[in-house]
């Protein structure tokens, strides 16, 4: 069932991607101690924002640390797109696996699979654990999601899942069915919001692929912005195109929100006084980040910790 979070002494931790050593360093920096094999703090709990796996050197180690904390009551967790992808990579549908075993998809999950070699039961148990994690959590004081808070998508997840948990195979199958309402809601929540460029406009990504859509910084007010301004990825060469897509951006009056996913660069800092992204590219020589939250509704850059 969806975790009932009532505390206001929570340390939110962003994408870890298999870097167990950095996770331990960050937990120690935050004052957590490994007692009887489980990291814990006398006064605080961790909230993991997903993407435990893929890319790094010790994916099973990260899951062991996080899962043991959650199961012992010292942490909460939501799933990221990499956990969602891992589940669908292992779930069969009518036409094969829900996440096709293409070269691209296998490559993305390869480091995790190799590190679970000779640990099949552990891998299957961790897949089952991912299935139990919600896609988002909302309390009176905060919201937490892996990639994007789109209220319409959250409402659909409330209606068509167990308050954000895909609790049976039918829901998982529906979540992977192209064009299904639930699939679109999961896509936005786990992977972000994409919007089309105006007709005839495009850009080439780092791999030379021509793109006609951008993944937007959904927390920004689009007024007076260009498509370049509104894109999470910069340097696309589309700063001359005024942004004209209507969407409901995350207002300054809303409760604090914590998320990851976007591979931000530079020194970790807030996006807005109520918006905190905690993915600063640990798997690309960046930082593993946390925000030490004590119930405040106006967030503070001095409460971001990183290693």
17 & 132 share domain: yes
How many Å apart are CA 33 and CA 44, to the nearest integer?
12
148 & 265 share domain: yes
Q: Give Cα 18 distance to the centre of its chain.
A: 14
Distances (CA, A) of 286 to 36, 50, 75, 107, 192: 31, 17, 24, 22, 21
157 & 290 share domain: yes
Structural domains of the chain, count: 2
Predicted local distance difference test score (pLDDT) of residue 26: 98
Q: What is the mean pLDDT of the chain?
A: 94
Supply 74's token pair.
Answer: 């010292």
171 & 215 share domain: no
CATH code for the domain in which residue 94 is found: 3.60.21.10
Last residue of some domain: 204, 230, 246? 246
Q: Give Cα 89 distance to the centre of its chain.
A: 18
Band (185; pLDDT cuts 50, 70, 90): very high
In a domain, 1, yes or no: no
Q: What is the pTM of this model?
A: 0.94
Predicted local distance difference test score (pLDDT) of residue 6: 83
239 & 289 share domain: no
For 64-112, what is each residue's pLDDT tens digit?
999 999 999 999 999 999 999 999 999 998 889 999 999 989 999 999 9
121 & 148 share domain: yes
Band (1; pLDDT cuts 50, 70, 90): low
Range of the domain at 94: 10-187+251-306
In a domain, 100, yes or no: yes
Last residue of some domain: 229, 246, 263? 246
51 & 104 share domain: yes
For 203-217, what is each residue's pLDDT tens digit?
777 667 788 888 999
54 & 165 share domain: yes
Higher pLDDT, 53 or 233: 53
Predicted local distance difference test score (pLDDT) of residue 238: 83
213 & 266 share domain: no
Cβ atoms of 260 and 146 within 8 Å: the answer is yes
Q: Give Cα 162 distance to the centre of its chain.
A: 19
For 130-183, what is each residue's pLDDT tens digit?
999 999 999 999 999 999 999 999 999 999 998 899 999 999 999 999 999 999
Band (280; pLDDT cuts 50, 70, 90): very high
100 & 206 share domain: no
Q: What is the DSSP string of 22-34?
A: HHHHHHHHTT-EE
């Amino acid at each position: 069932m969806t975790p009932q979070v009532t505390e206001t002494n929570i340390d939110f931790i962003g994408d870890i991607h298999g870097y167990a050593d950095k996770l331990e360093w960050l937990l120690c920096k935050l004052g957590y101690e490994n007692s009887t094999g489980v990291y814990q703090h006398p006064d605080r709990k961790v909230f993991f924002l997903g993407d435990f796996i893929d890319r790094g050197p010790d994916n099973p180690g990260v899951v062991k640390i996080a899962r043991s904390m959650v199961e012992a009551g010292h942490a909460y967790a939501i799933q990221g797109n990499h956990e969602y992808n891992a589940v669908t990579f292992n779930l069969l549908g009518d036409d094969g696996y829900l996440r096709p075993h293409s070269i691209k998809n296998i490559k993305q999950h390869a480091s995790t699979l190799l590190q679970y070699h000779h640990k099949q039961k552990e891998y299957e148990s961790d897949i089952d654990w991912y299935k139990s994690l919600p896609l988002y959590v909302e309390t009176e004081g905060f919201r937490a999601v892996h990639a994007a808070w789109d209220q319409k998508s959250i409402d659909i997840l409330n209606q068509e899942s167990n308050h954000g948990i895909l609790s049976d195979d039918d829901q998982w199958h529906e979540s992977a069915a192209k064009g299904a309402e639930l699939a679109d809601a999961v896509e936005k929540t786990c992977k972000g919001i994409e919007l089309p460029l105006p007709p005839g406009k495009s850009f080439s990504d780092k791999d030379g692929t021509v793109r006609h859509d951008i993944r937007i910084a959904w927390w920004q007010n689009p007024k007076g912005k260009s498509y370049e301004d509104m894109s999470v990825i910069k340097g696309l060469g589309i700063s001359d195109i005024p942004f004209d897509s209507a969407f409901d951006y995350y207002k300054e009056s809303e409760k604090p929100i914590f998320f990851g996913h976007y591979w931000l660069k530079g020194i970790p800092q807030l996006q807005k006084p109520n918006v905190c992204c905690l993915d600063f590219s640990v798997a690309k020589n960046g930082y593993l980040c946390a925000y030490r939250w004590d119930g405040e509704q106006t967030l503070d850059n001095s409460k971001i910790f990183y290693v």
